[in-house]
């Protein structure tokens, strides 16, 4: 189980991450996919080696790390996420049993700056240099499946969405 504030970096391939097992008690993504996850520096340290990794890899690592945080926060029943993208759909969707509050804490803990819209219905998270892209969390009354978080990379391509508070999706069910 990860400690709060710790960050783990995933490989650069964010899209179509493996669907996790459905057990809610069998541990984190780290336990289930030990080969896919390894420890690494946080975003600020990672930024220092951006020149070595390349900007795209850096962004991908930060994105993956935040998703991993959301799925593996310590002290709760948050244990899993899965790719719930509908067949034929292009915007990748993930479903996690984490909550929007978990994600909020994870992003703040990783140095993201928070801005709230005038009516409070959108909260946006950015990094000072913008290298982490932008996350937008909307409450449950603003998304079909409940509270959700959109991620937008800085180049305008390949957004994805994380749907909170549901049981991990099983394709075909």
Partner 1 sequence: MQYPELITDDNAFSALRAECGEVFDTNQRLPHQVFRQKFAKYYVFEYGRILRKDFSTFLTNVARNFEEGAVNYMTLDPDPVEYYHRNCGFYGLASFEPNTLIANYIKVMHRDGNVESFRARGGDVGVMWGSSRKWGIFCDRVSWELCLMGSSLKLDESLMGTVDCMGAGQLNNYLENLYRNKHGVALKFLRTLGENYPTLR
Binding site for partner 1 (CB under 8 A): 84-91, 93, 95, 115-119, 121-124, 126, 130, 134, 136, 142-145, 152, 155-159, 161, 166, 169
Give the residue with the Cβ less far from partner 1, 95 or 106.
95
CB of 168 to partner 1, least distance (A): 11
Q: Is residue 162 within a helix (H) or strand (E), and if so which, with residue range? A: strand 160-163
CB of 113 to partner 1, least distance (A): 10
Tell me the C-alpha distance between 152 and 7, whole Å.
20
Give the residue with the Cβ less far from partner 1, 29 or 149.
149
Q: What is the DSSP string of 4-24?
A: TT--EE--S--TTPPPPPS-S
- What is the SS3 assignment for 140? helix
CB of 100 to partner 1, least distance (A): 15
Give the residue with the Cβ less far from partner 1, 49 or 116.
116
* Strand partners for 27: none
Tell me the C-alpha distance between 44 and 70, whole Å.
19
Q: Of 170, 166, 164, whose CA–CA distance to 137 is shortest?
A: 164
CB of 60 to partner 1, least distance (A): 17
Give the residue with the Cβ less far from partner 1, 76 or 130.
130
Give the residue with the Cβ less far from partner 1, 25 or 173.
173
Which structure tokens are listed for 112?
């993201």
- What is the SS3 assignment for 84? coil
């Amino acid at each position: 189980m990860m400690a709060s504030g710790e960050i783990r970096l995933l490989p650069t391939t964010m899209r179509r991450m493996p669907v996790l097992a459905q057990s809610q008690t069998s541990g984190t993504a780290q336990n289930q996919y030990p080969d896919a996850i390894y420890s690494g520096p946080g975003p600020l340290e990672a930024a220092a080696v951006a020149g070595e990794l390349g900007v795209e890899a850096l962004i991908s690592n930060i994105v993956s790390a935040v998703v991993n945080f959301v799925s593996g926060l310590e002290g709760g029943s948050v244990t899993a996420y899965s790719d719930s993208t509908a067949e034929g759909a292009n915007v990748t969707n993930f479903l996690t049993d984490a909550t929007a509050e978990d994600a909020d804490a994870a992003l703040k803990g990783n140095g993201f700056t928070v801005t709230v819209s005038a009516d409070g219905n959108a909260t946006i998270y950015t990094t000072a240099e913008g290298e982490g892209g932008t996350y937008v969390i909307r409450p449950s009354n603003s998304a079909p499946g409940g509270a959700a978080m959109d991620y937008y990379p800085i180049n305008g391509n390949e957004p994805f969405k994380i749907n909170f508070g549901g049981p991990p999706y099983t394709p075909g069910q």
